[in-house]
Chains A and B, each alone.
Chain A
Amino acid sequence: MNEKELLNQVSLLKNIKPRQEWVVFAKSRIMGTMNEFSPSPINWVGQIGQMIMFYSRKPAFAMAAFAILLGSGFFVQIVRQSLPGDTFYGLKAATQQAQFTLALGNNQSLLYFNLAQKRLDDINTIVGQNNTQNTKQLSSAIKEFQTTSARATKEFALLVENDPKKALQASREIIELQNTKIQIEKALGTKFGEQESNDLENATKALLENEFSDLDSRTLTEQQLVLLNEAKNAFTKSDYQTALEKVWTISN
């Protein structure tokens, strides 16, 4: 390999870029203080993002922050309707993250599952638009979904290890997410995010194994025993959704 070939290879690394969502989110966090609104629309976006991120850490003021945002109705519409690749998409994603952080606090697994659901909603919107120019946008949206769901899966796996009860609650979100994803894949005619789905499946298996172990050690009613057997049968057939539903019924 000569030097020119080597340098060509090395220069490929220039293609590595951070997620736009992180760029906006991190900037808002770092600034962390209010500024006056400036006439420039780009600055205004930054200011609102900063305000949202600042107040999301102070629940007492969160409603005020969202009220201000809602007051600027037209702008809010533009932000809400933006999709990956659009100018205000970063702000939309940062806003959603702030909203869920406010609502869900330290429950990172639920936070990221909810965000992943929002990313699936974005993909659904793009598919619904049925526009061939949306390929790049679709690609960005799928990438955003994969990143968020990878994080959700990681947090879920931690939850399975550290707090199985909360993990069982979070598992309802998983089922909803997977079902939405299947519908979208049917509409697209292709699968995506398979690695994330496999990781999620493994984490769900671990949760179910934990639950079976716990339920086996408890005294159950006859009805509960029947449900447990049905859950285990579904598990052996890799039908984790049915298995989870049976376990929820036993636990509630």
Chain B
Amino acid sequence: MQKNQKKFEKIYDQYNARIFRFIYLKVSSQEIAEDLASEVFMKAWSSFAKATEDEKVENIQAYIYQIARNVIADHYRAKNVQAVPLGETAEMIESEDSPEKKAIVSLEMERIKEALKGIHDDYQDLIIFRYVDELSYAEIAGITGKTEDSIRVGVHRALQALKQRLEGEMEV
């Protein structure tokens, strides 16, 4: 049990920021993201702690992301997600830049976040996995259960959708 706990601590340390960010980009509330991310790791730990050697999860990364996606889906089904006031993102940026630069970065991030929310859920996931979390096509395939080729096509389409969304906002 102690060995499992030490291993899981490392898993938590490795993935907590990424999972938080993934969830935050989907639910747009820091508080909700914290609650859901905690839930993800609670569930992961619960399975991890009880698993025997034969039942060990082969792909921890894919497993944790899958739990995260399920938790988000449950959240959308069960509750109304409240839109967060603009400006919450600024408080989450860790940067040593000047306040002015941080403000500019924060505004650009808000724009991208809003545009991301406007595209299909699956496209959102692909963009976050590929360009924010920097996962390989193989890793993304492991999480989504799709083929690598399908992921490559999906990522390309997701980028096009995001680009159209952003360009549409600029025209308005």
Chain A residues with CB under 8 Å of chain B are 1, 3, 6-7, 9-19, 22-23, 26-27, 29-31, 33, 35-36, 46, 136, 143, 146-147, 151, 154, 195
Contact = CB atoms under 8 A, between A and B. Distances in A.
Given A1-B166, A14-B132, A195-B87, A26 B112 contact: no
Contacts of B89: 16
Contacts of A29: 38, 42
Task: List the 4 closest pairs (A to B, CB-CB), nearest first.
Answer: A18-B20, A26-B38, A10-B131, A15-B93
Contacts of B42: 29-30
Contact of A136 (B8, B12, B96): B96
A35 B5 contact: yes
Given A15-B95, A17-B94, A30-B12, 17 more contacts: A1-B167, A3-B163, A10-B132, A11-B131, A13-B109, A13-B116, A16-B89, A16-B93, A17-B92, A17-B93, A18-B33, A19-B30, A26-B37, A26-B38, A30-B38, A33-B1, A146-B91
Interface string B130-160: 0110000000000000000000000000010
A151 B31 CA distance: 8
Contacts of B93: 15-17
Best-buried of B13, B34, B85, B108 by chain A (most CB within 10 Å): B34
A188 to B, nearest CB: 14
28 contacts: A3-B159, A3-B163, A9-B108, A10-B127, A11-B131, A12-B105, A12-B108, A13-B109, A13-B113, A13-B116, A14-B21, A15-B105, A15-B109, A17-B21, A17-B92, A18-B37, A19-B30, A22-B20, A23-B16, A26-B16, A26-B34, A27-B16, A30-B45, A33-B5, A46-B9, A136-B96, A147-B91, A154-B31
Contacts of A14: 21, 132
A12 B85 CA distance: 19
Contact of B162 (A10, A11, A26, A151): A10
Contacts of A30: 12, 38, 41-42, 45
Nearest to A151: B31
Contacts of B159: 3, 6-7
A12 B30 CA distance: 17
A35 B170 CA distance: 55
Contact of A22 (B13, B34, B116): B34
Interface residues of B, number: 48
Interface of B: 1-2, 5, 8-9, 12-13, 16-17, 20-21, 24-25, 30-31, 33-34, 37-38, 41-42, 45, 85, 87, 89, 91-96, 105, 108-109, 111-113, 116, 127-128, 131-132, 159, 162-163, 166-167, 170
A16 B131 contact: no
Contacts of A143: 91
A147 B1 CA distance: 35
B41 A11 contact: no
Contact of A31 (B9, B38, B166): B9
A18 B112 CA distance: 19
B97 to A, nearest CB: 10
A208 to B, nearest CB: 24
A18 B16 contact: yes
A206 B96 CA distance: 39
A13 B132 contact: yes
Contact of B24 (A16, A26, A35): A16
Nearest to B108: A12
A17 B20 CA distance: 8
Nearest to A154: B31
A27 B12 contact: yes
B171 to A, nearest CB: 12
Contacts of B105: 12, 15
A40 to B, nearest CB: 11
A239 B151 CA distance: 59
Contact of B17 (A3, A12, A18): A18
